[in-house]
Chain A
Amino acid sequence: MQPIQPITGSKTAINAWLIEDHHLPLISVSFVFARAGSASDPADKSGQAALLADILLEGAGNYDSLAFQQEMEQHAIKIHFSANRDTFSGTIQTLTANFDKAVELTRLALTEPALEASSLKRLQSQQAAYLDYIEQTPNPKADKVFWAQVFKGHPYANITSGTRNGIKAITPKSLKRFLYDGFTQDVLTIGIVGDVTPDQASTLIDQVFGSLPRVSKLDAIPAYKFPEKCTVTTVEQPGGQSIAIFAQPGLTRDDPRYYAGVLLNYILGGGGFASRLMEEVREKRGLTYGIGTNLATLTGAPLLIGQVSTKNETVLQALDLTRQVWKDLAVNGVTAAELQAAKDHENGSFALQFDSTSSLSDMLALMQYYRLSIHYLTERTALINAVSLQDINNLARSMLNVDQLQTLVLGQPTQ
């Protein structure tokens, strides 16, 4: 892999990271606008950032909706925008031959979107239909209910797709306002990878992002105060299976214990068949098809969050086992062999995810969003290896706390 080059716009002071790779005639550009995610939706317009991600491709500049989409298809340009709770991000993929067209279409989408009433109406209907789909599909429904329960009163309470009333309240004017307030140079990070020179990349930065306002007007996402005591909430749902989601406070991305956290999560439930939860709940007892945990570094509420699904008769048993595994790790810690296996996996697998151009450009944008070193891709192994058995077990003792677990069960659990 070629090294990362820091580059700057030729006429602006906007920065980006670039990896030149001429293996294939492809270029991928990724960007992140911090703060411009669904947590920054206006209180009465929940779902706006998600809708914006779609409507930006519904015509811009002199192209109406159909003409814009036809240009993309004709030139095989893929532009994908998305919002999550914290950020708005985009990935643009093009063949080298159509690079100029890709730059033009992306610039127009971000700076001169049509935001037409007819497109808005159609997308509002689509997004509301997606909410219906969530209602009838247990996994995303459990996720939705979990956030609504646990984060009541916080901007994280709604899912990114928002609420029916919120979607209805979105107007072309409110979208424009959000664009102006949130798509700004001070919260922007950019990664570029592929068949492109530094000069071409500098020009791209100016052309696509150069006319954006300088400073974000969006408020920082407020910190969430996690409840002190554990709770278990059951929401009735017919069908033979229950889904449980459970979470406790996790670690921020800049926490010095973060890498110990990555390894601890791997051993607890992040490591698939190598994890203790999978071993106890699926492999030994056959109670579930899937159980796992994740260290989620959300700005306002870093979490250690997990999920299990199992039939109604065994969900309480599965949760009991989960708490036992959790407690045992806190009290007794991990073994040296488990730590070594987790390190080996993390170090071996990290680079494997970058076998596509877009996965690497996404990573470059995210590394800057998280303020990581430009040498992170090569330094990460050392950061993982530096975690000692004492580090990880100190973290397990201080962090893992079943008495703070917030649990949501969607289903009809029975003893």
Chain B
Amino acid sequence: MTRPKLDYEKKNNVSITHTLRGHIYRLLGTIMLGLTVHGAHAAQHGVFEPQVFTLENGLTAALIENHRLPAAVHMVWYKVGSIDEPKGKSGLAHFLEHLMFKGTHTLKEGEYSKTVAKLGGEDNAFTSTDYTAYYVKIATQHLPTIMQMEADRMQNLLLSENAVKTERQVILEERRSVIDNNPGRAFSEQLNASLFLHHPYQVPIIGWRAEMEGLDHADVVNFYQHHYAPNNAIVVVSGDLTLEQFKDLVTKAYGNIKPRDIAHTPDIVEPASLAARTVTMRTPDIQRPIWRRAYKIDSYAKDGSNAKACTAVEVLAQILGGSDTSHLYQELVVNAKIANDIHVSADIARRGPGVFTIDVTPIDGKPATLEKIETLVNASLKHFQEKPVDGITLQRAVSSLQAEAVYARDSLMYPATIIGQTLTTHMPLSMIEEWPIRLGNVTSTDVQNAVSQLSERESVTGQLLPSAHP
């Protein structure tokens, strides 16, 4: 479009969401072309139909075929994220992600990205609480070059003291841009730190400033050596090649890399909370207040045993706040006229506990307005817990989520992302492949049970307000 884009290339994003609905919703692919909207037929096959195999050195590889363009997305996922950082070293996983672009014994500083650019590709990377991923979108013919460079930096990263020092300034600038200079994001950081009593999810991915300032060369190298290895990595490719071609390329590029001992982080058990919390942040820079309620909930379990309940939670999020027809939009925005917008999300595709969030943009920051919002949100939840949702509403929510599965296939990036995320968080692929079927099986009783999962004492209610009341 003609409007100047001012958001340029911001390499190395800190990824902060990983909802199964939020991802799956957009990322989750397809399927069931018959089922979808007035669904008549059950699915005969899976959503993305990824073809997965493992090399002798422990590297897992997955291919999603897509022959529409002579192009592919190549992703390397490492099963390491911010929750794997040693205590006192917050921001280290994300810092290393930046430094992975600084060169190897054979690749000069910055040469990785320059090579990709010259080949017409787009590259970037992101760090999450649970994983770190590097991706390139490029013409299929250049995949061998990309794989060779990825394999190289998986084992041969070479960092100068100076590169570490310069890049540390960059991540501090990034923190300034993304969090410190953005009251909404700073509020999210505060609320999140309060939601988790003990689990490392309480620590921001980008890191706390004081600890970021102390990250040094030895920290990075040590972290790299204990987490970056074929036996801790997953290669996902979505694009125009066959399984035979893919197997051949992957084996040649990655097959000879030696496995390493991985420093596995023990699963931290988040203790049950006994007290609901409130967080109130006041800042002079705010004109638009925020009201937010976040609940800790169960996430998709590793063995898939929790899939049914989690799917119902996703349907609940859609019914409560997935669109302008949703219950909370109609109650708070259209009828009561005390909010400008609402948003509900279920962040449950993760290694640790999940989070269910209800976000409201109040019409003003008056205490009476915020009180009324809280009352209405509580009443809405009670309503769905006590009264089964009507069949038409349930069916509309399910239909629209199932259709997202078709739309998500219309891309190279989304399917690769969702499969990579699933494999790195140790979820069985059936969580993805059977998602539309599970959606179709959600009953109004399941939705009632999903509401019951939202426990008050596992919640934080937050308000972001202007310093002075109007």
Contacts and interface: CB of A to CB of B under 8 A. Distances in A.
Contact of B173 (A238, A287, A355): A287
A286 B411 CA distance: 34
Contacts of A225: none
Nearest to A245: B6
Contact of A282 (B170, B288, B324): B170
A70 interface: yes
Contact of B166 (A21, A66, A285): A285
Contact of A136 (B139, B287, B325): B287
Contact of A355 (B2, B71, B101, B110): B71
Contacts of B176: 240-241, 309, 311
A331 interface: no
A296 B113 contact: no
B323 A296 contact: no
Nearest to B397: A73
A298 interface: yes
Interface stretch (B179-187, B228-236, B291-299): B179-187
B10 A290 contact: yes
A382 interface: no
Contacts of B407: 26, 76, 78, 93
Contact of B9 (A139, A292, A298, A350): A292
Interface residues of A, number: 87
Give the interface SS of chain A, mostly helix, strand, loop or mixed.
mixed
Q: How large is the interface on B (under 10, 10 to 19, 20 to 34, 35 or more residues)?
A: 35 or more
Interface in A56-104: 65-66, 69-70, 73-76, 78, 84-87, 89, 93, 95, 97-98
Given A240-B181, A272-B9, A349 B409 contact: no
A352 B117 contact: no
B366 interface: no
Contacts of A406: none
Contact of A294 (B6, B69, B71, B412): B6
B333 A122 contact: yes
A125 B2 contact: no
B117 A273 contact: yes
Interface stretch (B242-250, B301-309, B334-342): B334-342
A307 B6 CA distance: 7
A357 B410 contact: yes
Interface string A223-265: 0000000000000001111000100000000000000000000
Nearest to B8: A292
B122 interface: yes
B183 A356 contact: no
Interface in A116-170: 122, 125-126, 129, 132-133, 135-139, 143, 160
B396 interface: yes
Contacts of A207: none
A283 interface: yes
B119 A309 contact: no
A289 B174 contact: yes
Contact of A85 (B2, B323, B413): B2
Given A95-B406, A133-B288, A348 B400 contact: no
B361 interface: yes
Interface in B319-356: 323-325, 330, 333-334, 337, 340-341
B457 interface: no
B323 A69 contact: yes
A351 interface: yes
Contact of B170 (A122, A289, A292): A289
Contacts of B177: 139, 241, 289-290, 309
A132 B9 contact: no
B69 to A, nearest CB: 6
A274 to B, nearest CB: 4
A137 B406 CA distance: 35
B69 A1 contact: yes
Contacts of B30: 24
Given A95-B403, A138-B181, A352-B138, A288 B6 contact: no
B137 interface: yes
B2 A87 contact: yes
Contacts of A52: none
A184 B156 CA distance: 60
A73 B169 contact: no
Interface string B351-389: 000000000010100000000000000000000000000
Nearest to A96: B33
A289 B324 contact: no
B167 to A, nearest CB: 6
A347 interface: yes
B6 A139 contact: yes
B227 interface: no
Contacts of B120: 344-350, 352
Given A273-B114, A289-B177, A309-B177, A136 B183 contact: yes
Interface in A326-369: 341, 344-352, 354-358, 366
A240 B180 contact: yes
B173 A307 contact: no
A139 B9 CA distance: 14
B98 to A, nearest CB: 10
B403 A24 contact: no
Contacts of B165: 286
Nearest to A239: B181
Given A288-B173, A294-B6, A352-B122, A366 B411 contact: no
Contacts of A375: none
B469 interface: no
**Chain B CB within 10 A, most for which of A24, A93, A284:** A24
A146 B216 CA distance: 39
Contacts of B87: none
A105 interface: no
A188 interface: no
Given A66-B330, A289-B173, A129 B340 contact: yes
B8 A307 contact: yes
A352 to B, nearest CB: 5
Contacts of B470: none
Contacts of A347: 120
B9 A129 contact: no
Contacts of A26: 406-407, 410
B384 to A, nearest CB: 18
Contacts of A291: 8
A297 B400 contact: no
Given A66-B330, A87-B2, A341-B117, A355 B323 contact: no
A49 interface: no
B121 interface: yes
B261 interface: no
A299 interface: yes
A3 interface: no
A12 B238 CA distance: 42
A202 interface: no
Given A26-B410, A97-B37, A352-B138, 13 more contacts: A26-B407, A69-B324, A70-B396, A95-B403, A125-B337, A240-B181, A294-B6, A307-B6, A341-B118, A345-B117, A345-B119, A348-B119, A349-B120
11 contacts: A69-B325, A73-B325, A86-B3, A95-B406, A97-B38, A136-B287, A239-B285, A241-B181, A351-B69, A352-B120, A355-B69
Interface of A: 1, 21, 23-26, 65-66, 69-70, 73-76, 78, 84-87, 89, 93, 95, 97-98, 122, 125-126, 129, 132-133, 135-139, 143, 160, 238-241, 245, 269, 271-274, 278-279, 282-292, 294, 296-299, 303, 305, 307, 309-311, 341, 344-352, 354-358, 366
